[in-house]
């Protein structure tokens, strides 16, 4: 019996039948067809599986999470720690057990991230030769849509470099001068 016939026999969709096959609940045998292999199912196995599907399953409609009335609320006992004159550990210090604390690890990660941004060269927009849309917008005060329309109408020269548009500073200055 083919896939559609097996699905109709079980009263399920073809997709549900495919899921049963993937789960290993039903076996399938593929035979060479005219254009591609076709699935064939054993009728006896499908009859056994249909009987399994038709068995009722009982599940509670609502799970009860109430506690019995005689039980007291559960409390976790805490030990009293004696006060010591030992100073608090600071960044980079090692605790008694020779491990670096979580706070120290996090602070070193944050310091590493901050130092990466500080080490990158920062060039002011006024000194850049090529500008992004956001930089051109910030420099001129014109909207992105206005700049895009100018590029589409070939009033402003721009080029895609990588994934984003770049505008030469000199071309942007010429465009702004032509506006007035």
Greater confidence (112 vs 73) lies with 112
- Give alpha helix (H) positions in 55-168: 102-119, 133-140, 144-152
Q: Which residues of 66-92 are buried (b: 16+ CB within 10 A; e: fewer)?
A: eeeeeeeeeeeeeeeeeeeeeeeeeee
Inter-residue contact 175 to 137 (CB < 8 Å):
no
Q: For residue 155, what are its two tokens? A: 């009033």
Domain 125-179 fold is: Molybdopterin biosynthesis moea protein, domain 2 (3.90.105)
Please report which helix (H) or strand (E) contains residue 45, including its range: helix 43-54
pLDDT at 70: 59
| Residue ranges with strand state E in the chain | 29-31, 38-40, 130-131, 159-161, 164-168
Helices 133-140 and 169-179 pack at an angle, to 10 degrees, of 40
Chain centroid to CA 170: how far? 41
Asked whether residue 91 carries a pLDDT value surpassing 60, the answer given is no
What's the pTM? 0.35
pLDDT in tens, 28-86: 888 888 888 888 899 999 998 888 888 876 666 666 665 555 555 555 555 555 555 55
Q: Which residue has the higher pLDDT, 18 or 62?
A: 18
pLDDT at 153 over 90: yes
- Rounded (5°) CA angle 93-96-102: 55
The boundaries of every CATH 3.90.105 domain in the chain are: 125-179
Contact 91, 107 (CB under 8 A): yes
């Amino acid at each position: 019996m083919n896939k559609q016939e097996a699905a109709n026999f079980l009263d399920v969709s073809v997709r549900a039948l495919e899921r049963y096959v993937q789960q290993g609940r039903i076996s399938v045998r593929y035979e060479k067809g005219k254009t591609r292999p076709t699935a064939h199912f054993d009728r006896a196995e499908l009859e056994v599986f249909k009987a399994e599907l038709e068995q009722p399953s009982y599940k509670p409609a609502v799970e009860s999470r109430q506690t019995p009335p005689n039980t007291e609320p559960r409390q976790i006992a805490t030990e009293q720690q004696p006060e010591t004159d030992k100073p608090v550990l600071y960044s980079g210090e090692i605790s008694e057990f020779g491990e670096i604390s979580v706070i120290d690890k996090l602070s070193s990660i944050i310091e590493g991230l901050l130092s990466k941004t500080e080490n990158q060269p920062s060039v002011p927009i006024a000194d850049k030769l090529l500008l992004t849309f956001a930089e051109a917008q910030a420099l001129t005060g014109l909207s992105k849509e206005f700049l895009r329309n100018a590029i589409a109408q070939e009033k402003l020269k721009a080029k895609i470099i990588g994934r984003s548009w770049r505008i030469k500073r000199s071309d942007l200055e010429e465009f702004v001068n032509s506006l007035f």
